[in-house]
Amino acid sequence: MMKWLIATMMTTLLLAGCAGGKESTDSTKDQQEKNEKVTVVLDWTPNTNHTGLYVAQDKDYFKEEGLDVEIIMPGEAGADQLVASGKADFGVSYQESITQARVQGVPLVSIAAVIQHNTSGFASPAEKNITSPKDFAGKTYGGWGAPVEKSVITSLMQTENANVEDVSIVNMGDTDFFTAVKRDIDFAWIYYGWTGIEAEIRGEKINMIYLTDYSEKLDYYTPVLATNEKKLQSNPEQVKKFLKAVSKGYKFAIDNPSEAADSLLKAAPDLDQELVKKSQEWLASKYQDVAPRWGEQKLEVWENYASWMYENDLLDNELEAEKAFTNDYLPQ
C-alpha cells in the first residue's frame, strides 16, 4: 500500500510539473506572439558600427520593450529605399544620404547618431608618403563612384592650394583596401575603426588623413539610425521603445566592449574575432563621446554639412535641416 501511495504521489507531481511546464511554454509563446514585430535593415554586412543592435537583441532588451526585432541585410534595394518605402521599420543610414533624400522629397528622418564624430578619412600605405592632401597630386584614388568623393578630395586639397585634377580617380568596386593598394591604387576612403584596426592587426603601417582635421563641415554623423515620417506619426511609441532598447545596447557596448563584441560575434560568427574585439575597444569611447546621451544630434552639424554639400553642387536645393533629424524619441 505504501509503495502504491508513493507511486501515485510521484505521478501526480510529475503530471503537475508537466502541466506547469506546458503553461510556461504556452505563456512564453503567447508573449512572443504579442510582441510587435520590427525589422531593422543594416547598411552593410555586420560590423562594430552595429554592435548596439546585436547587444539589444542578445540581451533581450528588445523583448523587454515588447518588440520582436529582426535584423536584416540590405540586399540590392539598400537600407534607405527599404525604410523610405516602409518595407523596413528602421535602418542604418548616413547623414549624407538622408540629406540628399530629404532635398529630393524622400521622407527619411535620422533618429539617432550611432557615432558622434566622423571617424573616416583617406588611408594609404606608409611607403606611399601621402601625409597631407597636397600629396594626393599625382596619385590614384580608389572609390565607389559617388560624386561626393571628388568633392571631398577637392575641399581637402584646396586647403593646401593643390588641384584635384592632378588626381586619378578610379572605381575599385568591391575590392578590399589591402588588395587594392597593393595592385591598383594609392589611397582610399576608409573608417579607421574597422579597416584601420585591421591594418594594425596585419602589421601594415598606414597614413590617415581625417576629414575632420581639414574641415569642421565634414564632421558629420556617420552612421545614423533612420526611419520614415509615417512611422514617427503612426507609431511614436514603437520608435521610443526601439530606441530605448538600442540605447541600452550601445551603453552596454561603451561600458563592456569585450562582452559586447561577443554578442556581435554570436550573430555573425564568420567575422574575425581579433578584429571585432579590437575594433570594439577602439569604438567604445567614440559612440557617445562627450554628448549628453548616446544618439544625440545637433542642428548645427546637419546645417554645416548640408551647406557644404550645397556649395559643392551636391544638392539641388538647400536642406530644411530641422526636419532631417530628431532627438525626441531618445530616452531621457
pLDDT tens profile 72-85: 999 888 999 999 99
Instruction: Evaluate if residue 9 carries a pLDDT over 50.
Output: no
Residue-level pLDDT at 198: 98
The mean of the pLDDT values for the chain is 92
For the cut 60, the answer to whether the pLDDT of residue 92 exceeds it is yes
Banded pLDDT at 19 (limits 50, 70, 90): low
Tell me, what's the pLDDT at 34? 82
* Core vs surface per residue 26-44: b (16+ CB within 10 A) or e: eeeeeeeeeebebbbbbbe
Pairing of strands 140-143, 224-228: unpaired
State pLDDT tens for residues 298-318.
999 999 999 999 999 999 999
- Per-residue HEC secondary structure of the chain comes to CHHHHHHHHHHHHHHHHHHHHHHHHHHHHHHHHHCEEEEEECCCCCCHHHHHHHHHHHCCHHHHCCEEEEEECCCCCCHHHHHHCCCCCEEEECHHHHHHHHHCCCCEEEEEECCCCCCEEEEEEHHHCCCCHHHHCCCEEEECCCHHHHHHHHHHHHCCCCCHHHCEEEECCCCCHHHHHHHCCCEEEEEHHHHHHHHHHHCCCEEEEEHHHCCHHHCCCCCEEEEEHHHHHHCHHHHHHHHHHHHHHHHHHHHCHHHHHHHHHHHCCCCCHHHHHHHHHHHCCCCCCCCCCCECCCHHHHHHHHHHHHHCCCCCCCCCHHHCECCCCCCC
| pLDDT confidence of residue 22 | 54
Q: What is the pLDDT of residue 30?
A: 53
Looking at residues 226-255, what average pLDDT do you find? 98
The pLDDT value recorded for residue 20 is: 53
* pLDDT given for residue 263 in this prediction: 98
At residue 38, φ and ψ (nearest 5 deg) are -135, 140
Q: How does pLDDT run across 107-116, given as a tens digit for each residue? A: 999 999 999 9
Residue 78 has which C-alpha cell? 539598400
Read off the pLDDT of each residue in 261-268 and give the average, rounded to a whole number: 98
Q: Which residues contact 229 (CB under 8 A, 6 or more apart)?
A: 107, 109
* Window from 22-31, 39-48, 59-68, 299-308 with minimum mean pLDDT: 22-31
Residue 2's pLDDT band (boundaries 50, 70, 90)?
A: very low
* Least confident residue range of 4-18, 147-161, 272-286: 4-18
pTM score of the predicted model: 0.88
Give the residue-averaged pLDDT of 282-301: 97
Grid cell in block for residue 36? 510587435
Whether 152 has a pLDDT exceeding 70, the answer reads yes
- pLDDT tens-place string over residues 179-229: 999 999 999 999 999 999 999 999 999 999 999 999 999 999 999 999 999
- Return the number of other C-beta atoms located less than 10 Å from residue 178's C-beta: 16
Q: State the pLDDT at residue 3.
A: 44
More confident residue, 20 or 64: 64
| Residue in 214, 109, 81, 96 with CA at minimum distance from that of residue 149 | 96
The values of phi and psi at residue 217, to 5°, are -70, -15
Taking the C-alpha atoms of residue 168 and residue 141, their distance in angstroms, rounded to an integer, is: 6
pLDDT at residue 311, as a whole number = 95
CATH numbers and ranges of domains, the chain: 35-117+221-323 (3.40.190.10), 120-218 (3.40.190.10)
Q: β-pairing, 120-125 with 206-210?
A: antiparallel
Instruction: Tell me what pLDDT residue 33 has.
Output: 61
Cβ contact 298:211 at 8 Å: no
Residue 26 pLDDT > 70: no
Of 294 and 4, the one with more pLDDT:
294
Distance CA 47, CA 109 (A): 23
Q: What local confidence, expressed as pLDDT, does residue 15 receive? A: 42
> Which of these, 103, 61, 37, 78, lies nearest to 235 by C-alpha position?
37
What is the total residue count of the chain? 332
Which residues does 247 contact at the CB level (< 8 Å), separation at least 6? 52, 112, 293, 294, 295, 330, 331
Q: What are phi and psi of 178, to 5 degrees?
A: -70, -35
Dist CA 294 CA 50 (whole Å) = 14
